[in-house]
Amino acid sequence: MSIDKFVTLESTAIPMPIENVDTDQIIPARFLKATTREGFGENLFRDWRYDKGGSKIPGFVLNDSKYSGKILVGGKNFGSGSSREHAAWAIYDHGFKVVVSSFFADIFKANALNNGLLPVQVSDAFLSKLFSEIEKNPQTKIKVDLENQTITILSTGESEKFDINKYKKTCLLNGYDDIDYLLSMKDKIEVFEKTR
Amino acid sequence: MSKKTLFDKVWDSHVVSQVEEGPSVLYIDRHLVHEVTSPQAFAGLDKRGIKVFRPGQTFATPDHNVPTKDQHLTIHDELSRSQVEKLTQNCQNHGVTLFGLNHPYQGVVHVVGPELGITLPGSTMVCGDSHTSTHGAFGAVAFGVGTSEVEMVLATQCIMQPKPKKMKIEVNGTLGKGVTAKDIALYIISKITTAGGTGYFIEYTGSAITNLTMEGRMTLCNLSIESGARGGMIAPDETTFSYVKGREYAPKGADWDKALAYWKTLKTDDGAEFDKVYNFDAADITPMITYGTNPGMGIKITESIPSGADLADTNKNTFMKALQYMGLEGGTKMVGRKVDYVFLGSCTNGRIEDFRAFASFVKGKRKAADTVVWLVPGSKQVEKQCKDEGIDKILEEAGFELRQPGCSACLAMNDDKVPEGKYAVATSNRNFEGRQGPGSRTFLASPLTAAAAAVTGVITDPRELL
């Protein structure tokens, strides 16, 4: 079992300049009843995207035809709240490969990385820049380069480095997952248990 | 030897190995499982053709989806039923202990773990649920994980985790009348915000903390995640030991003596360093209530809602969006607002102490006629205790009814949904948009404030009726 490899991505982006986007908004609890990982994209941001009757709510970015792309740019403190991995599954299932914010909640970040969805943490200034460039021109291309740990606004050439720990970077570049790594350590784990 | 914090002591003793410039391989002593975040993890094991590595260290119970009425009948919601059935099958296939629906130990995972002595000082504990931080009340390193990590623990009893930074929150002094652990937590989160704890593991210290009961400590640690912190813990002491002693899965006899001797060493060394320290005075804390759509948007119950005028533009948009969702205006009072629903329960405030507090408050009073009140015990054992202590009778006499255990209206995965536009005072942990049902509006507060609203039908300072 493995995750999809991530090396570089060039794409337009969808801006969502809202702070503290919690995982209950990303995927409301009533849609967590499946027993498989697939199909959660359909209900991504359900209550912001659709009204009670199931009609699209105009004005919400995912319903706005001028925006498209595989990069979601969110406000500060993205992914707070519940530990539901379904949030990362829903974003990935919808077609996003990267989420950009100036701050991520811990559990969301870990869940994203475990599913090949790259969280890119940028400065507040760069985030504002991203929002204004994308809103000015929705065709703005953003390049995310994992090897060099950079995110670049291609039209202006503005770029910023982002952090990721070396282990997780290797996993994403190669499509490795943690479970394979841990299973390969079973002997060591058994030795550890005997010392306790 | 370098000086260590309580957190360092517990974490470091569970590191199997350290990945260079990467996470620790952390050994997990106890693993709790529920029906919503586990099916994909068990499916992952089945796909790999492997069994649960240490089935004796995982305990399961259905809680998120279950009805809180007529639990003896089949669950009518097909998807909920299928998740609960899947949990039963998975536990059977893998030899995991299950406290299924109608079992005398069933309940909300974070209520069940402590009351059975599954939660122990100095242990590491995870669950596919962010409120696993609850168990930190015992001096355990306990935190919520995603489903991939649930699968890791099932497969290897380990997860890969970078070690968080350390924060100390010290609260000294005596709490005033009508002020509870819930108020301490809401007060702290209102000060440090919902992102203030992100990247940290908290240790709570100070006289206002050590004077809390175990139930109070659990409420406080439970809400650590609402400040963004992965977990929060309190050094174990005599209060902890006497709570744990004699519980079903707690060590007994010579094992107890040995464990106790070790647990007594679990405190932060003098001079050990924290990355961040906060100090609060218990005298500044009053009954709290939230007005917005995250748990950091809380005020003293007697205060007015902030206007947001002093916020920067990006924050202001978020703030105004929250007030608009809540149908509230800045500068107005919370006290006196109509309350349509009251919810007592959840892993935050669904323990026996919470029911005792609610019952003693409403004793001799009457339920407000127009307010729907859901009283949902955190577990079958809490339900039984309510009956044994006559709490159910007090509640009935005041016009209330006790329901059956589950997560219920905390996240409204079952039928306990607050309708669109309606206001609820809830003792649970999140006031996010739609958390208690699509369009629902939640005010988070303590069991006493919930009780005050339940008898008056409006937001009321509980101190006025004590």
Alpha carbon of B27: minimum distance to chain A alpha carbons (Å): 8
**Which phi and psi angles does B165 have, rounded to 5°?**
-75, 170
Helix (H, G, I), strand (E, B) or coil at A78: strand
Q: What angle do CA A118, A123, A126 make, to 5 degrees?
A: 90
Q: Which residues pair with B280 in a beta bridge?
A: B171
Segment 37-76 of chain A within 8 Å of chain B by CB = 37, 47, 52, 75-76
The mean pLDDT value for A22-40 works out to: 95
Percentage with pLDDT > 70 across chain B: 100
Q: Which helix (H) or strand (E) holds A194?
A: helix A186-194
Give the per-residue pLDDT at A1: 59
Helix (H, G, I), strand (E, B) or coil at B242: helix
Give the per-residue pLDDT at B1: 65
How far is residue B164's CA from residue B167's CA, in Å, rounded to a whole number? 9
Label the pairing between strands B200-205 and B141-144.
Answer: unpaired
Q: What is the pLDDT of residues B233-287, one digit of tens each?
A: 999 999 999 999 999 999 999 999 999 999 999 999 999 999 999 999 999 999 9
Give the tokens for residue B242.
């006497």
Position B297, amino acid: M
- Cα dihedral value A190, A196, B3, B8, nearest 10: 60
The mean pLDDT value for B40-68 works out to: 97
**Nearest Cα residue in chain A from B410:** A29
Q: What is the pLDDT of residues B318-358, one digit of tens each?
A: 899 999 999 999 999 999 999 999 999 999 999 999 999 99
Give the tokens for residue B125.
């504990």
Predicted structure pTM score: 0.97
Percentage with pLDDT > 70 across chain A: 99
Chain B hits for A178, Cβ within 8 Å: 148-149, 152, 159-160
Q: Which of B19, B145, B420 has the CB atom closest to A83's CB atom?
A: B145
Average pLDDT of chain A, as a whole number: 96
Position B165, amino acid: K
- Cα dihedral value B80, B83, B87, B90, nearest 10: 160
Give the per-residue pLDDT at B313: 74
Q: How far is CA A114 from the centre of its chain?
A: 11
Q: Would you call B16 and A192 a contact, using CB atoms and an 8 Å cutoff?
A: yes
Q: Would you call B164 and A81 a contact, using CB atoms and an 8 Å cutoff?
A: no
Query: What would the DSSP string read from start to end of B49-61?
Result: T---S-GGGEEE-
Residue B409 contacts residue B428 (beta carbons within 8 Å): yes
Burial of B49 per CB tally in 10 Å (0-12, 13-18, 19+): exposed
Report H helices in B95-192: 109-115, 147-156, 181-192
In this prediction, residue B312 has a pLDDT band, given cuts at 50, 70 and 90, of: confident
**Nearest Cα residue in chain A from B229:** A106
Residue B268 contacts residue B4 (beta carbons within 8 Å): yes
Q: Which of B21, B156, B194 has the CB atom closest to A77's CB atom?
A: B194
Query: DSSP state, A56?
Result: B
Alpha carbon of B164: minimum distance to chain A alpha carbons (Å): 10
Q: What angle do CA B402, B382, B351 make, to 5 degrees?
A: 95
Taking alpha carbons only, the member of B83, B43, B77, B44 closest to residue B63 is: B83
Q: Which of A19, A166, A178 has the CB atom closest to B160's CB atom?
A: A178
Kindly indicate whether the ipTM for this predicted assembly is greater than 0.90, answering yes or no: yes
Evaluated on CA atoms B421, B422, B425, B430, the torsion sign reads negative
Cα distances from B285 to residues B173, B186, B227, B301, B309, in angstroms, run: 10, 9, 17, 11, 25
